[in-house]
Amino acid sequence: MSIFENIINGFNGYIDAISGNTEPLTPHLAEAAHLMAHTLLEERKIFCCTSGHAFAAGQQFCANLGNSQNLQRPGLPTVFLGNSQQHTLAMIDQQQSGSIYARQIQALGQPGDLLFVIATSGQEKPLLQAVQTAGEQQIACIAMAGGPHPDIHNALCSQSVNIPLRCESYGQLQAMQFLAVCLLGDLVEQLLFGTPT
């Protein structure tokens, strides 16, 4: 197979992944966008934490909400957990890296805030601990994971939203995560500020 065929097959694989997820994900993304908008209207904040492979998608999500995408608007309060090297290294030194996100949620979270978790497999222990801690602090969660049996979805409390991604490769999963966070940013902007003219 030539490199040109590999490129064409690669694009077709991504297109198939998007097409296969579009209809199943639509109600989940709508519910997630409404929960995000409601949280922000209540003057609460959104936390985001991710697995290593989803780190860039988490950064993109916070950048999209913190800055305007399509409208001139104020920045929206988002906090990307685990973004501080100093905090992360201190946790590793204390052999507490499994609770890296949970401890930040305990320190910064308030009832009514929202936690957005972007996972790779949905089995990552730091993310599971973050979801459990959020539930204890009356913080709703949105979890987006791509594993076949993501434990993280079972850990969600009743007022939370599950976004189950179905992809055949890490590359497709990362593409779907980026697409989903950009869509969520657009939807939250529309719900809070109206459709751009």
Mean pLDDT of the chain: 87
> Average pLDDT of 67-74?
81
Question: Which residues face 80 on adjacent strands?
Answer: 48
Closest CA to 180 of 43, 36, 39: 36
Structure pTM? Answer: 0.89
Q: For residues 165 and 172, what is the distance between their CA atoms, to the nearest angstrom?
A: 10
pLDDT cut 70: percent of the chain above it: 89
- 171 has a pLDDT exceeding 50: yes
